[in-house]
Structure 1
């Protein structure tokens, strides 16, 4: 695969193959038809995980506190808060005609239905990925309107996907496994793990 990109027809074939593999591996992916878009489809998965969220909260120090006795101005401090929460992760794999590659869209919900902020999402990225992505943290993971469902979703920017898949070096005959190989590489960045049992089905 010289360019690392695939056509929409190849994406659909790979998506159907991946969906069949997920069913056989008792995974929970769904193959959804895109409304009013011909034969277009996308993959969807919902899962719940208990994770630790790191976030900063601003607190106001009162003027009469001991720390600010010499300065009567109110000062704002930032406190790091770590909490475990049960979160719902919703992942979508959608084809991008502009880049010729799949794109991973996702949202993360609390139990009350509220969405995590971008900074909270970034806090969930495993440390070894953060080290590599720190300089492009707000461009690699960002938010835009989902091209199919029409609501804001986070997504992993696809600008490096073709180059990544070119390095993977899938043969023309193995494009069926394109989505499996790609998700195995990028999914863990946002806590989407691909079970090792899938590997036995890769050529």
Structure 2
């Protein structure tokens, strides 16, 4: 497996992931700001329980031109629309982690497509982590979300893997 991916590979695999999501009636969307590279990303929203309230979390899987890997961006809002600050976001997703480690893992950056602040899982080791899989992944987006998603309460159904395996078998027969 290559240690990185091109924009066109990201786009192709994002569309492949979206096809799996559609088969499962999951609510992932492909958002295309315009035709320019890399102005397309995957979007998913869900509610997450935090203390005694439900938090609306919006996740974006975006291509990083610098690192040539997928990146996970997110925003968390209270039911009144108020954005969770960085401290509350850390408490929601990684309450046991030492604060000094969190700045290197879950930090605030400008969204590369929307140009406004989002929280993101830092991509510096993504390439290394994705390359550690023995069997070459046919969909790095699916692999990426499966690995990184649970850190921020984004967990895919096991059905994603089953449908992806079915697609692999179908493609091999053709």
For the aligned pair, the TM-score class normalised by the smaller chain equals 0.7 to 0.9
After TM superposition, give the deviation of residue 134 of structure 1 in Å: 6.1
Task: Tell me the SS of whatever aligns to 1:202.
Answer: helix
The 5-angstrom pairing of residues 91-130 of structure 1 reads 91-125=59-93, 130=96
After TM superposition, give the deviation of residue 139 of structure 1 in Å: 1.6
For the aligned residues, what is the CA RMSD?
1.9
Q: Could you say which structure has the higher strand fraction?
A: 1
In the superposition, the TM-score normalised over structure 1's length comes to 0.75
Distance of 1:169 and 1:35 partners within structure 2? 36
Distance of 1:144 and 1:19 partners within structure 2? 25
After TM superposition, give the deviation of residue 137 of structure 1 in Å: 1.0
Gaps of 5+ in 2: 166-174
* Conserved 8 A contact 1:144-1:154: yes
Distance of 1:113 and 1:106 partners within structure 2? 15
More displaced stretch, 37-46 vs 183-192: 37-46
Gaps of 5+ in 1: 53-83
RCO greater where, 1 or 2, for CA within 8 Å and sep 6 or more? 1
* Conserved 8 A contact 1:43-1:92: yes
After TM superposition, give the deviation of residue 138 of structure 1 in Å: 1.2
User: Runs of 4 or more off by more than 3 Å in structure 1?
Assistant: none
Is 2:114 the counterpart of 1:188? Answer: no
* Conserved 8 A contact 1:89-1:107: yes
The 5-angstrom pairing of residues 42-53 of structure 1 reads 42-52=41-51
Structure 1 150/39 Cα, relative in aligned 2: closer, same or farther at 3 Å?
A: closer
Task: Tell me the SS of whatever aligns to 1:16.
Answer: helix
